[in-house]
Structure 1
């Protein structure tokens, strides 16, 4: 029994050292949501179980290296051991019990993250290659940054215009895929607890500029949030060019089309209006209003040579006719 006692002490010491080290290593950013508390508690339990299992295996192995090593002068084989039925039953039943226990904890944590508040703010999150848009449908405006009131639940409805994206703010601990297609919306509930600026990142590989698909997330005092909402609901500018620039940002056009002549995966808008472009079918076309409107509504109708591998989503499906004309006015202004 002395060997088991020594190993038990060694395993206990290793478990405490490893568990305490991992639990205080700062592997996660500071928690900033109510829903994340249940997730952190579950992570912490996992860490201590993992530390124990690692220590159990390593402790027995290290102790065996020392205690049962071949001594000087020993030439014979070690003792032969057969299986131990009781031990085999124990290491089957105990891990099964642990797995079931953690399944229960996981279900409880999931239920906590989905706990609904009937007064939650509603925001539709739209992912596109490679940008985010946030539609505050209760207030009738959209934004390229996500602003949330502190200590109030927000219901985020996820959707995508093209491929699968994934909403992830590390400080909130929650992640939810945004899927393309009608009826494929997914929901995520967040109750922020810490005022500050955060970064929304796409956690699903979604194409060439996936790494740059980020957006600002700002948690505000309730009074500041209400003031911001009031400013946004005043409506866009009376100038169609200024509105066009706003739609350029909100609908993710900037992800593919620059306005300063720099190279991106789509043609630059700088100075393009009024020029002639060679199409993939060998014909040329003048970049006028008619062509631009057609390209927004049906992007595959006439493709410029050199950009045939780029599949632009039909952005016009989610824009009004006035917004499309505003964007064309904005493009035309870049040629002046």
Structure 2
């Protein structure tokens, strides 16, 4: 542009008409065909990638993904267990059937190049085929509350042999978890409780469960309460009834849909955390 301004500027004393250029047909065809070809190549690559992403493999492994504030849980119906980690076999298609228990979440593993919203009341499906083994993280990509930034879980892509070894181990653990406390341990994992409450004394969004049962719990109103079965059941069904001191700003969702048996199983599990 600067060259054209200098080379074709009006010169002093020049009163003639400017040169009339009708155009260059070959050049115009060239700069039309070349970009069109480039766009078509990218369109083909995009269409192929989309078709590959949506390709249905009847032998795909199913994983039920449960999202809640602010944790993930993964159920493997073919193997009969639930995990807080998403472990996948390499080079095998996986069908993720995803549900939200509360608000909109979004399943996102950046390295997988896919992201899918999870809407309450709907089952959202996503198909992926991991091709590189390694450790990744699934993150929530939709703002879902005060602890949204911490809503992540490990994702491990393993060889088929390593995956089957892990699945077999988890099946054994699940089979042994048929006692009330065992069922309670599985329930708190699948409900996302461990995203806010630790079982080793470490500080998370909510109070730790280590040594909780039978202890004296200070409340936000200055009183204390014994962490017996009645208090813990009330805290599960109506978390705002008695708020623990120091956690006034953390809003715990109510689990009013839990049955009496499920609550009893959770309480049995809490009693083991000494």
TM-score (normalised: structure 2): 0.73
SS in 1 for 2:125: strand
Q: Which residue of 1 aligns with 2:206?
A: 266
Please tell me whether the aligned partners of residues 144 and 250 of structure 1 are also in contact (alpha carbons under 8 angstroms): yes
Q: Give 1 or 2: higher strand fraction.
A: 2
Q: Which residue of 2 aligns with 1:225?
A: 163
Please tell me whether the aligned partners of residues 217 and 244 of structure 2 are also in contact (alpha carbons under 8 angstroms): no
SS in 2 for 1:216: strand
Q: Which residue of 1 aligns with 2:145?
A: 207
Cα 1:328/1:132, change in 2 over 3 Å: same
Please tell me whether the aligned partners of residues 156 and 187 of structure 1 are also in contact (alpha carbons under 8 angstroms): yes
Q: Which residue of 2 aligns with 1:256?
A: 196
What does residue range 53-92 of structure 1 map to in structure 2 within 5 Å? 64-65=1-2, 67-69=3-5
Cα 1:303/1:151, change in 2 over 3 Å: same
Q: Which residue of 2 aligns with 1:304?
A: 243
Q: Which residue of 2 aligns with 1:192?
A: 130
SS in 1 for 2:142: coil
* Distance in 1, Cα, partners of 2:205 & 2:167: 34
* Distance in 1, Cα, partners of 2:49 & 2:189: 37
* Distance in 2, Cα, partners of 1:97 & 1:161: 47
What does residue range 114-193 of structure 1 map to in structure 2 within 5 Å? 114-180=54-120, 182=121, 184-193=122-131
* Distance in 1, Cα, partners of 2:201 & 2:154: 25
Cα 1:143/1:213, change in 2 over 3 Å: same
* Distance in 1, Cα, partners of 2:90 & 2:44: 30
TM-score (normalised: structure 1): 0.61
SS in 2 for 1:135: strand
Cα 1:300/1:204, change in 2 over 3 Å: same
Residues 69-116 of structure 1, C-alpha deviation per residue, up to 9 Å, x if partnerless? 559x9898xx99xxx9xxxxx999x99999899777655543331111
What does residue range 101-112 of structure 1 map to in structure 2 within 5 Å? 106=46, 109-112=49-52
What does residue range 256-295 of structure 1 map to in structure 2 within 5 Å? 256-274=196-214, 275-278=216-219, 285-295=225-235
Equivalenced residue count is 261
1:192, distance to aligned residue in structure 2 (A): 1.8
SS in 2 for 1:233: helix
Q: Give 1 or 2: higher helix fraction.
A: 1
Residues 275-311 of structure 1, C-alpha deviation per residue, up to 9 Å, x if partnerless? 255477x987543112212332x23462416545543
* Distance in 1, Cα, partners of 2:151 & 2:260: 27
SS in 2 for 1:268: coil
CA-based RMSD of the aligned residues comes to: 4.2
* Distance in 2, Cα, partners of 1:231 & 1:324: 27
* Distance in 1, Cα, partners of 2:40 & 2:231: 61
Runs of 5+ unmatched residues, structure 1: 1-63, 85-89
Please tell me whether the aligned partners of residues 279 and 285 of structure 1 are also in contact (alpha carbons under 8 angstroms): no
